Amino acid sequence: MSLKQQVEGLEKEALELIEKASDLESLNSIRVEFLGKKGKLKSILKTLGKLSPEERREIGQLANRVKEELEERLREKEKLLREKALEEELKKKKIDITLPSAWIETGSSHPVISTLVEISEIFVSMGFSVAEGPEVEKELYNFDMLNIPPDHPARDMQDTFFINKKGYVLRTHTSPVQIRAMLTREPPVAVIAPGRVYRKDADPTHSPMFHQIEGLLIDENVTFRDLKGILKIFLESIFGKNVGIRFRPSYFPFTEPSAEVDISCSVCGGTGCRVCKGTGWLEILGCGMVDPNVFEAAGIDTEKYTGFAFGLGIERIAMLRYRINDIRLLFDNDMRFNHQFKGIR
Ligand code: FA5
């Protein structure tokens, strides 16, 4: 067989094999077999030296054409096989977008916590900073230094949970943080103290664990008018300009004069319900001018400084905002209730 016939035969054989190749692997072995360094085409070309110059040119040209053609065919076939492989892969991984998705429960902040954060932000925007104190508190700070000595009837105003450590109680209000602030800061002082407090109390508007935010401002020439102004700004930002606000004279051992503040009941719109006990109003905070006895106990100059303090009940505010008619709903952890507050902030 002449060299020309051998090259043409090789071309035919290779083209047939390329045509039949069904995967990339066999295509690659065809490439190696025919065009590789030790491939069939190369070994034929090695014998070129034995030919006359004309024959060498002719076979040389033929071999080049065959090489180019085979390369071209291999490229085309490779493209085709790659597309086919991808198609099959996609077919295998086909996603049924009509299938129901896996249920992922998203959490949300509790209405009491969102209310607490929102209230804190309002006071922080007015220049108050946030202070903290422990929930297991010294009786000294929870009562004595707040002008409530042992055996004073005022201790009965807040039914206390005592613990097995003498001299300590579960704090009944956030007011002991006032004492902590006075003992550690120099006036002027402007702090709020949000946190949990505990009392032996349970009915639709009283919970044994609830949250308060304490406020304390000490400076020269602070008056009751400043207290009213600050609370008015705060209440209007939470409840809107049309909210009914009522200051009622009251008594707290650590403030003089003292007041309690009521808000018109948004649960019933003021007509009377079990939240407002038929009165149309709900008490949300206690406040007053810091009693000089408290300043003296904490070593603050009563000649120079005056101050106001307030303590507000977060749950009561959350109840009015979201029209919740029983405080206990806030702590039952019923998911049907909790889910209603998703995305309120
Ligand atoms: C006090 O706790 C005072 N420390 C507040 C204060 C601070 C007065 C600074 C003056 C100066 P009182 O016991 O009234 O006050 O409680 C304050 C608020 O907490 C109430 O207005 C009410 O909104 C809320 N509150 C009281 N008891 C409960 C309870 N058991 N459950 C839910 N909220 C309550």
pLDDT value at 15 more than 60: yes
Pull the structure tokens for residue 90.
């996609």
Residue 45, phi-psi category: left (phi > 0), alpha (psi -120 to 50), beta (remainder): alpha
Q: Are residues 68 and 214 in the same domain?
A: no
Q: Is residue 41 located within the same domain as residue 160? A: no
> Which of 34, 61, 92 is the last residue before a domain boundary?
92
Task: Report pLDDT for 336.
Answer: 87
Structure confidence at residue 345 (pLDDT): 56
Instruction: List % helix, strand, coil for the chain (3-state, nearest 5).
Output: 45, 20, 35
- Torsion over CA of 317, 322, 324 and 328, rounded to 10 degrees? -60
Measured from the CA of 312, which atom of ligand 1 is nearest? 18
200 and 126 both lie in a single domain: yes
In whole angstroms, give the CA distance from residue 168 to residue 23. Answer: 81
Alpha helix segments (H runs only) across 165-249: 176-184, 224-239
248 and 301 assigned to the same domain: yes
Pick the residue whose CA is nearest to atom 15 on ligand 1.
Answer: 286
What CA–CA distance (Å, rounded) separates 41 from 3? 11
**pLDDT tens per residue across span 224-273:** 999 999 999 999 999 988 889 999 999 999 999 999 999 988 878 888 88
The pLDDT of residue 1 is above 90: no
* Residue minimizing CA distance to atom 12 of ligand 1: 286
First to last CA, the chain: 90
Ligand 1 atom with least separation from CA of 290: 11
Structure confidence at residue 344 (pLDDT): 63
Residues spanned by the domain of 247: 111-341
Closest CA to 192 of 310, 315, 283: 310
Percent of the residues in the chain that have a pLDDT greater than 90, as a whole number: 64
- H-assigned helices in 185-322: 224-239, 292-297, 314-322
pLDDT reported for residue 55: 86
Tens digits of residue pLDDT in 98-146: 988 888 877 778 999 999 999 999 999 999 999 999 999 999 999 999 9
Same domain, 67 and 131: no
Cα 181 from chain centroid (whole Å): 30
Same domain, 136 and 88: no
Residue 57 identity (one-letter amino acid): R
pLDDT at 91 over 90: no
| CA 173 / ligand 1 centre spacing (Å) | 7
Tell which atom from ligand 1 comes closest to the C-alpha of 175.
Answer: 4
Q: How far is the CA of 234 from the centre of ligand 1 (A)?
A: 17
Is residue 79 domain-resident?
Answer: yes
> For residue 226, which of 170, 159, 310 has the smallest C-alpha distance?
310
User: Which helix (DSSP H) or strand (DSSP E) does residue 192 occupy?
Assistant: strand 189-198
Q: Which of 175, 306, 317, 328 to probe ligand 1 with, by most ligand atoms within 8 A of CB?
A: 175
Q: Tell me the average pLDDT across 208-219.
A: 98
| Neighbour count for residue 103 (Cβ, 10 Å) | 5
Task: Ligand 1 pocket test: pick from 123, 155, 173 the residue with the most ligand atoms within 8 Å of its Cβ.
Answer: 173
The predicted structure's pLDDT at residue 149: 87
Residue 161 DSSP one-character state: P
Question: What per-residue confidence (pLDDT) applies to 170?
Answer: 96
Which atom of ligand 1 is nearest the CA belonging to 317? 23
d(CA 311, CA 12) in angstroms, rounded, equals 97
Question: Which residue type is seen at 258?
Answer: S
pLDDT tens-place string over residues 287-329? 999 999 999 999 999 999 999 999 999 999 999 888 898 999 9
Rg (CA), the chain: 43
Mean of the per-residue pLDDT values for the chain?
Answer: 91
The protein residue whose alpha carbon is closest to atom 21 in ligand 1 is 285
Could you tell me if residue 305 is inside a domain? yes
pTM score: 0.72
Separation CA 339–CA 324 (nearest Å):
14
Of 15-24, 26-35, 42-51, 320-329, the range with the lowest mean pLDDT is: 42-51
**Sign, CA torsion 50/52/56/62:** negative
Q: Tell whether 200 and 86 lie within a shared domain.
A: no
CA of 214 relative to ligand 1 center, distance in Å: 10
Its sign, for the CA torsion 181, 285, 338, 236, is: negative
For residues 83 and 124, membership in a common domain is answered with no
CB-count burial class (<10 Å; 0-12, 13-18, 19+) for 28: middle
DSSP bridge pairs for 314: none
Using the mean position of ligand 1's atoms as its centre, give its distance from the Cα of residue 255 in Å: 13
Q: How many angstroms does the Cα of residue 205 sit away from the middle of ligand 1?
A: 11
How distant is the alpha carbon of residue 236 from its chain centre? 27
Counting residues of the chain whose pLDDT is more than 70, the rounded percentage is 99
Domain total for the chain?
Answer: 2
Residue 249: CATH number of its domain: 3.30.930.10
Same domain for 153 and 240, yes or no, is yes
Q: Both 126 and 253 in a single domain?
A: yes
Confidence (pLDDT) at 269: 81
The Å distance, Cα 183 to ligand 1 centre, comes to 23
Whether residue 87 has pLDDT greater than 60: yes
Identify the band that residue 97 occupies on the pLDDT scale cut at 50, 70 and 90. confident
What tokens were used for 189?
A: 């002082």
Residue 164 DSSP symbol: S
What token pair was written down for 299? 């070593």
Q: Give the pLDDT confidence score for residue 159 in this predicted structure.
A: 87
Ligand 1 site residues (CB inside 6 A) read 158, 173, 175, 199, 201, 206-207, 210, 212, 252, 255, 258, 283-288, 309-313, 315-316, 327
> What does the block give as tokens for 269?
């719109």
